[in-house]
Amino acid sequence: MLGDDLLWFTTLAELERVGAAAERLHIAQPTLSRMLARLERRLGAELFDRHGKRIELNDCGRIYYEHARRAQSELDAAAQAVADRTDPAKGVVRLSFLHSFGRWLVPQLIGGFRRGSARISCTLWQGAFDAVVDQILNGTADLAIVSPRPSAAGLGWHKLLDQPLVLAVPAEHRLAARRHIRFADLADTEFITMPTGFGMRRILEEMSAAANIRPRIAFESTDLVTVAGLVAAGLGVAVLPLEDPIPATGALSGLVTVPLADVGAARDVGLIWSATAPPSDAVRRFRDFTEDWARRRGGIQMPRR
């Protein structure tokens, strides 16, 4: 099962609708159904459970899908290696990153990189911390920008910058007039944060553990802008990163940011990659560029505002 066969099967497995998959693949629906039937006969097992017009991967299908996805990743890497050998100035970088870095960091890096390597293209994917790290580990992304530094084995890491953290509070909150605050003083405070699996949630839990408090979670959101909006509405407080060039909450009325006095009240932002998979020339160039970008920033410490 190679090339186009991998593409149609993984597309069908991810969409779980024959009609939608056929439309995306630009083939007739009956043709796709026949291709699936032939594959299942060859394997001697059904790969999907049928529910009317909808299909769903069964246990055999999930096993086959995982192997097919890894095979597709290997074929993509082989094609990229050949392309790098024939024309090192061309190539593709598959970059994953946390949602919050899509506002400023990723555009800055790609813009600067493309000015010197215009023939190298970048495909982008953004998601939660755990999902982004998984993409590097399973080979579906070449590089990722994350925070904090992952603890998983098999990853390379290069720190790009320190991003200061602040406590966001409603303008009328009792803490709004404070010049700074220690995290240990927040034991009875209700927090608004991101769900488990997101980088900022992990940072909140680590800061809470260091301060020997158990955070009370009032609301969760997968988007930092929404978190800030809930704070501005008076529904709790939040630990937020100070973004470059302006704070994420700068345009929100009803919200005040208070500096955190705790030592190390910042999140490490860095680039990760697989320590075992050899990088293509394009990936190596992008990695070298980001490391040089971090050095040129000087001290990799974002100024507090």
Tell me, what CATH number does 224's domain have? 3.40.190.10
Largest pairwise CA distance in the chain: 71
pLDDT band for 219, please (50, 70, 90 cuts).
very high
pLDDT higher than 70, residue 32: yes
| Spatial CB neighbours of 224, under 8 Å, sequence gap ≥ 6 | 99, 100, 194, 200, 240, 241, 248
**Residue 6, pLDDT score:** 82
The last residue of a domain, from among 41, 74, 107: 74
Residues 155 and 273 in one domain: yes
pLDDT higher than 90, residue 254: no
Work out the percent of the chain whose per-residue pLDDT is above 90.
59
- 155-200 residue pLDDT tens: 999 999 998 999 999 999 999 999 999 999 999 899 999 999 999 9
The first and second tokens of residue 82, run together, are: 């050949």
Domain containing 32: what range?
4-74
Q: What is the CATH number of the domain that holds 34?
A: 1.10.10.10
Residues 33 and 151 in one domain: no
Q: Please give the torsion angle defined by the CA atoms of residues 10, 14, 15 and 16, in that order, rounded to the nearest 10 degrees.
A: 90
Q: Output the average pLDDT for the chain.
A: 87
pLDDT band for 304, please (50, 70, 90 cuts).
very low
Residue range 219-234: average pLDDT?
92
- Quote the DSSP letter at residue 252: -
pTM of the predicted structure, to 2 decimals: 0.65
8 Å CB contact between 193 and 217: yes
3-state helix, strand, coil split of the chain in percent (to 5) is: 45, 25, 30
